[in-house]
Amino acid sequence: MKKAGVNHDTLAGWIFLAPFLVSLSVFFLWAIVRTAWFSLTDYDLFGTPSFIGLENYVRLVSDDLFLLALRNSISFAAIVTTLQTVLALLLAVLVNSAARAKGLVRTVFYFPSIMSSAAMTLIFLWLFQRQGLMTSLVGNVINLRWIILSFVATVAGVQVLQVVLARRKYAEVGLFDPFFLILSVALGLAGAIVIRLGGWLPVYDEQLLISWLNTKEVFLFMPRTLWSVALMNIFTTVPTLMLLFLAGLQSIPGSLYDAAKMDGASSMQSFFSVTLPSLTPVTFAVVTLGLIGTLQMFDQVAILGAAAPLESRITLAYYTYYNTFPPGGSPNIGMASAAALTLGLLTLVIVFVQRQFGIKERIG
Amino acid sequence: MNTTERPLRPLNVLRRRQLAVLAWVYFVFIGLATIILGTFAIAFSASLKDNPLESPFRLIFPQITPSVWIKAADLGRQGADNPWWGGFAPGGELVFSLTYAAPAGVDLVTPEVEVPRRKPGSGLAAAITTTFASDYAIVELTGTSDRFFVSTEPETGQNIRWLARTFDYKISYSEEAGDNIWIERLPFTALAPRTQTLLEATLPVTRMERRGRVASWNNIAPGALGLILNSYRRVISETVDLSSGDRLLFKWMGNSFQIAVGRVILMIVLSSLAGYALARLQFRGVRLVFVLVIFSMTVPVQVTFISNYLVVRDLGLLNSNWSVIMVMIASVHVLLMKQYFESFPREIEEAAMIGGANRFQIFLHIVLPNAKPALIINAIMAFQGAWNDFFWPFVLVTNPPSALAMPVGLLSLRESYGGGQGDWSLVLAGAFISIVPVLIMFVLFQKYIVNNQVTEGIK
């Protein structure tokens, strides 16, 4: 009876799965096999592919554009993932004591993540025009540098003064005591306004033009163009990731912190010994998803188009597309396939590493 | 070390500290929300501006000033009897005044005014504009009036006497022009020597040209909405298919809508069936399929796109919405449906099975109707994903212009309008129009979206 049931399930199972399996076989499995085959051939989308062995891979490693794309992709993934994870984590810890991000605030934080990459990129392209708003923001900071410095100095000075005075009388006064900090910042602001109005420090009036996108300049292993894209990515992802971390933080039982406090741990120590370890699963998810997402970055590069030089924006994903449909050239499917497989392999390595660590984490 | 010597702070001080922490937390929250929403608010305000690249960037500008709206509505009523969208139509007669000022003693010259023969902008506008207000408008000076005022020089403290002269113009629709057509905009320019400055005008000047000698208006009969939503109106009316005359923005929206709906339907069929099989049915190979599902979620689309492009090409479906619909891999949704079905109580199905129903009947009549919540969440996700998807429409649908999907259409907007001196307000307007459907969905279903994204991310 039971065996018959299983047989019945087998037939029903495959029938239920059939539509999905057809789609998966044609558009996924066969596609991978074909890409692998194309990577070993000389193919231009029209003729018949002829086998040329590993030549495409050899050509790939000697192609400067590919090496550049590889470097850009890896540095973009590493930089964006690091920045967005650290920032989201810090912000989540900062605001954790607020009961919960609810209602309107939550909606606001999700807002950037529902936008299409196309709309988002256009908004940032406008923001990053040479004479655009970003330039004038930076220009304002540069022109007001002395006033900003005086503000920072006042805040630091007043804060240290207050803390030193309080420490003479009482124990356990932190350097960043929040109540003192309110006073310090208020005084700093008042001081900056007085200095500005009194004209005691120079305010410059330099008009500057910054090429955020259309430039070949490289800053810390990555073209400035990609830094601009990175800024946009971080802007889109950090709010959502922060809510993820917040959900993780709020599931940490308060008794753990109490125990740490009883053992005499400082708030810094309890952050590293209680908060961070408890957040490990979330962090792993955030880092893995971040790496996979950023490694495959394509949309922004394509939408940038002629607004930035190819070398400053090319990534592995775009290299694949670029070799498939080269502007004014004949398609080089062999190299495109080989590059695509490289990208796929990189992704798989990341997933594999994450699995390995994830398992260790669970055992430990 | 010396904690024993000094006491802790008194309770009320610690309480004060606690409140300060809370204040900082909310400050950070509000600050973040301001940065997020502020970016969009600023970009939106730029989409309304005549020059979104202006420097310094004004936060108060004519398009958001109610007193200007009233004037624009009045001018629109005078020009075409339409206070909302304005225009210049037969019978239209506008009164437009300019006030120039010069220090007393300097000769105040009557400006040379005209309705220039001008296209509304670069890009496609240049190709599709065929009617010009200049062919129909008659401008005449109806009167002038003088007044004096005194201003104080800020540096020297000297008083200066100024003469301000107001020139009233009547711009009327020529009755001799036989074809009696409605014209969308009525541009206007006034040339005056630099010894006199333009003090005010019925409508704020759009820009100064030729080193400040020419005051130029894009449209002096805009109507209230024509003033505020100028770039939105332009992006809709100017992005047209030159061969068919279709409004491209609506075409792109329609295409994206078809793609999204098609993908949602395909996703529901594939993922509910497959998810149920993976969750409930025990058979050989189920494990392998599950591994495949997971594997397919990690492989980048670039690996599969060459072959999929060829499949679509060989089927003759390139440049059709079908191609974008069918290349979707529904693995994420299969996984989510599987998880949902696993939490579904088995007893109901077993009771039905004893009652003689087979698997298909159970699925169709019992399981599926109860899976509505999961199906809704998946449908929202799939719709949003399809609406925002850039890669597949970019690769599979490249022409004609009317066949593009919205995100790729936005790219073509960027190419035709977004240059160093381009019409960025049009590009931004297109971007904001494109997010409206997803925005509506987000507002309607935000509970589902927000909760789901949190749980999905943690897994």
CA distance A36 to A172: 64
| pLDDT for residue B221 is more than 80 | yes
Q: Which residue of B22, B304, B363 is in closest CB contact with A27?
A: B304
pLDDT at residue B302, as a whole number: 94
Provide the terminal-to-terminal Cα distance of chain B, rounded to the nearest Å.
45
The phi and psi torsions of A269 (rounded to 5 degrees) equal: -65, -40
CA A171 to chain centre: 41
Q: What is the mean pLDDT of residues A57-66?
A: 95
Task: Say yes or no: B453 contacts chain A, CB-CB below 8 A.
Answer: yes
| pLDDT for residue B93 is more than 60 | yes
| pLDDT for residue A23 is more than 50 | yes
pLDDT at residue B209, as a whole number: 87
pLDDT at residue B454, as a whole number: 43
| pLDDT for residue B441 is more than 80 | yes
Q: What is the mean pLDDT of residues A223-231?
A: 95
* A358 — pLDDT class (breaks 50, 70, 90): low
Beta bridge partners of B247: B240
| pLDDT for residue B452 is more than 60 | no
The domain segmentation of chain B, as residue ranges, is 1-48, 62-228, 248-458
| pLDDT for residue B186 is more than 50 | yes
Q: What is the mean pLDDT of residues A190-214?
A: 90
Q: What is the mean pLDDT of residues A212-220?
A: 90
pLDDT at residue B25, as a whole number: 85
Cβ contact, residue pair A111, B36, below 8 Å: yes
CB pairs under 8 A between A and B: 322
Residues near B118 by Cβ (< 8 Å), separated by ≥ 6? B132, B134, B187
pLDDT at residue A362, as a whole number: 41
Q: What is the DSSP letter of B98?
A: E
pLDDT at residue A4, as a whole number: 45
- Chain B partners within 8 Å of A113 (Cβ): 453
- Chain B partners within 8 Å of A26 (Cβ): 311
**Listed range (A177-191, A345-359, B164-178, B331-345) with the worst mean pLDDT:** A345-359
Q: What is the DSSP letter of B3?
A: T
Q: What is the mean pLDDT of residues A22-33?
A: 96
* B390 — pLDDT class (breaks 50, 70, 90): very high
* A6 — pLDDT class (breaks 50, 70, 90): low
| pLDDT for residue B453 is more than 80 | no
Question: CB of B248 within 8 A of CB of B442?
Answer: no
* B3 — pLDDT class (breaks 50, 70, 90): very low
Handedness of CA A50, A54, A55, A61 (dihedral sign): positive
- Nearest residue of B to residue A126, measured between CA atoms: B424
* B451 — pLDDT class (breaks 50, 70, 90): low
* A1 — pLDDT class (breaks 50, 70, 90): very low
**Listed range (B33-47, B110-124, B358-372) with the worst mean pLDDT:** B110-124
Residue bearing tokens 């400040």: B212
Instruction: Give the whole-number percent of chain B exceeding pLDDT 90.
Output: 57
| pLDDT for residue B76 is more than 60 | yes
pLDDT at residue A70, as a whole number: 96
Cβ contact, residue pair B458, A19, below 8 Å: no
The Cβ of residue B43 has, within 10 Å, a number of other Cβ atoms equal to 22
CA distance B177 to B160: 48
Q: Which two tokens mark B401?
A: 């212009």
CA distance A284 to A276: 11
Q: Between vectors from CA B382 to CA A246 and to CA B426, what angle results, nearest 5°?
A: 90
* Widest distance between CA atoms in chain B: 106
Most confident stretch, A35-49, A162-176, B414-428 = A35-49
Each residue of A96-153: pLDDT tens digit?
765 555 667 777 888 898 899 999 999 999 999 988 899 999 999 999 999 999 999 9
- Average pLDDT score over chain B: 89
Cβ contact, residue pair A119, B432, below 8 Å: yes
Domain B248-458 has CATH 1.10.3720.10: yes
Q: What is the mean pLDDT of residues B409-424?
A: 84
Task: Say yes or no: A200 contacts chain B, CB-CB below 8 A.
Answer: no
CA distance B330 to B169: 65
| pLDDT for residue A2 is more than 50 | no
Instruction: Give the whole-number percent of chain B exceeding pLDDT 70.
Output: 95
Q: In what order do the strands lie in the sheet with B112-114?
A: B112-114, B188-191, B214-217, B207-209
Question: CB of A23 within 8 A of CB of B329?
Answer: yes
pLDDT at residue A171, as a whole number: 82
* A173 — pLDDT class (breaks 50, 70, 90): confident
- In this predicted model, which residue has the larger pLDDT, B58 or A250? B58
* B1 — pLDDT class (breaks 50, 70, 90): very low
* B449 — pLDDT class (breaks 50, 70, 90): low
Each residue of B328-382: pLDDT tens digit?
999 999 999 999 998 888 888 888 888 888 888 888 988 899 898 899 989 999 9
pLDDT at residue B169, as a whole number: 95
The Cβ of residue B279 has, within 10 Å, a number of other Cβ atoms equal to 18
pLDDT at residue B345, as a whole number: 83
Q: What is the DSSP letter of B10?
A: P
Question: CB of A128 within 8 A of CB of A229?
Answer: no
The H or E element containing residue B214 is: strand B214-217
Task: Say yes or no: A6 contacts chain B, CB-CB below 8 A.
Answer: yes
Cβ contact, residue pair B300, A317, below 8 Å: yes
Domain A60-130+212-363 has CATH 1.10.3720.10: yes
- Nearest residue of B to residue A291, measured between CA atoms: B298
Beta bridge partners of A218: A223
Cβ contact, residue pair A303, B410, below 8 Å: yes
Task: Say yes or no: A284 contacts chain B, CB-CB below 8 A.
Answer: no
pLDDT at residue A225, as a whole number: 95
pLDDT at residue B264, as a whole number: 97
Cβ contact, residue pair A20, B271, below 8 Å: yes
